[in-house]
Amino acid sequence: MNWSFAIVNNRLAEIFFDEKTKKIFAHCYVDRKNYKTKQEQKTITEDIKKVRITWRNKKYIIIKPQVNKRAVKKIKAKKENRP
């Protein structure tokens, strides 16, 4: 069983899941201020960009994370300008 940070019902949470079956077993809400080191903060930032989850009626629904359209346009423009 693995765990990761994610946004569950618009709150930061730790989720516990199995990679093989891709099933989420549980989650628990946490406060970001409880994680103080730079490594922990970096991990939280990276993980919450990957997945958003809704938990309702005892079921987990994975939602695609929101994409910043301006950032995507800037990245595409930089790639086109490369020699």
Q: List the single range of 19-33, 47-61, 69-83 with lowest mean pLDDT.
A: 69-83
pLDDT digits (tens, 9 = 90+) for 39-73: 999 999 999 888 889 999 999 998 876 666 676 67
How much is the mean pLDDT over the chain? Answer: 86
In this prediction the pTM is 0.71
- What's the chain look like in SS3? CEEEEEEECCEEEEEEEECCCCEEEEEEECCHHHCCCHHHHHHHHHHHHHCEEEEECCEEEEECCCCCHHHHHHHHHHHHHCC
How much is the pLDDT for 33?
92
How much is the pLDDT for 77?
76
